[in-house]
Structure 1
Amino acid sequence: MAQRLGTLLVSVQGLSGTLYPAGTEVVIRGGGTSVDAFVNGDWVSLAWWEFSDSAASDRP
């Protein structure tokens, strides 16, 4: 499945224990009500309401 970019809407904790604040950009894999996301290799499990997809036009 293709990966895409997203932005956190709320603070979430990664598997490493690091807390990522809202606004952090993540790489998203999967779809549905929960997805796998990664921040610098740190795995973050996200529910659909914790992130938004980033359109290519949203990035510099």
Structure 2
Amino acid sequence: MSQRLGTLLVSVQGLSGTTYPAGTEVVVRGGGTAVDAFINGDWIPLAWWEFSEGAASDKP
């Protein structure tokens, strides 16, 4: 499965209960309307509109 970097566009809650703010970089796996994202091992199910492709640090 393909793995890439993404950036959260909105605050989301991980499986651990931790809330991650917009701008947080995540590792994204999968594609389509829903993907699996991970932050330090915490699983975050994301919809397509909750993240953008690429790391925030890569953007001008």
- Same fold, TM exceeding 0.5? yes
Report what 2:40 is aligned to.
40
For 1:1-40, list aligned pairs within 5 A: 1-40=1-40
Where in structure 2 are there 5+ consecutive unaligned residues? Answer: none
Residue correspondences, number:
58
User: Which one-letter code corresponds to 2:28 in the other structure?
Assistant: I
Q: Output the CA distance in 1 between the equivalents of 2:35 and 2:24.
A: 16
| Gapped regions of structure 1 (runs ≥ 5) | none
Aligned-CA RMSD value: 1.6
Aligned partners of 1:7 and 1:33: how far apart in 2?
16
State, as a whole percentage, how many aligned pairs show the same letter. Answer: 83
SS of aligned partner of 1:49: helix
Q: Could you give the per-residue CA deviations for residues 36-57 of structure 1, whole angstroms, max 9, x where no partner exists?
A: 00000000000000000006x8
Q: Distance in 1 between matches of 2:45 and 2:14?
A: 8
Provide the C-alpha distance between the structure 2 equivalents of 1:10 and 1:26, rounded to a whole number of angstroms.
12
